[in-house]
A and B are shown apart, each in its own frame.
Chain A
């Protein structure tokens, strides 16, 4: 069974800092990895998708890397802003006989960026 772990569980940083969120997974036979953002009372917003053949993806101040062989991904946020405060979820897509490529989620990292 695929286990997805996110470290740290919570993080508080002052505005302007660069930060790294970590995600690890136990089964390296993934199809892709997706980073989401979840705001209180709202659904999930897709941030970045990395296919298993890719090493990294970038979108604005966000950069996600993938090392499939070691079962690790990092989400790098540059020049953090208070609006970045949210819970960040990592999910890996693994071939599942029931649902095709099912997403397995970590518990998330709760990020607070203080002004």
Chain B
């Protein structure tokens, strides 16, 4: 398995500001992902973080709102830009094993936008 850490674990932010969430993995992984879990909803994939190139976004998510960086095989950041109360969610970083496709998740970042 992989050990994944996220910073911050939680934050309360004001409308219109931006927050950058960091994800660190204890080993090199090819595939890293960012998910969102809105209250009472299932997890939704935001994007795949690609090392050395632009992230691949799912339908409904755009780079201007959720810019993602992945400078190496163990680290990625997700920024939630120009936040509104609708962005209040848990944001989770995830990695996937190349051999079995089993996925592992970080502890999540609980974001509240006021």
Interface residues, chain A, with chain B CB atoms under 8 Å away: 4, 31-32, 34, 36, 41-46, 49, 51, 89, 91, 93, 98-103, 105-108
Contact = CB atoms under 8 A, between A and B. Distances in A.
A61 B43 CA distance: 26
B54 interface: no
Nearest to B58: A98
Nearest to A5: B42
Given A44-B92, A44-B105, A107 B41 contact: yes
Contacts of B106: 43
B101 A46 contact: no
Interface string B80-114: 00000000000010101000111111111010000
Contact of B103 (A4, A46, A108): A46
A68 to B, nearest CB: 15
A89 B99 CA distance: 22
B1 interface: yes
17 contacts: A32-B100, A36-B105, A41-B110, A44-B43, A44-B92, A46-B105, A49-B100, A49-B101, A49-B102, A89-B42, A98-B58, A99-B33, A99-B47, A99-B56, A100-B48, A102-B45, A103-B103
Contacts of B1: 46
Contacts of B57: 98
B73 interface: no
B31 interface: yes
Contact of A99 (B6, B41, B45): B45
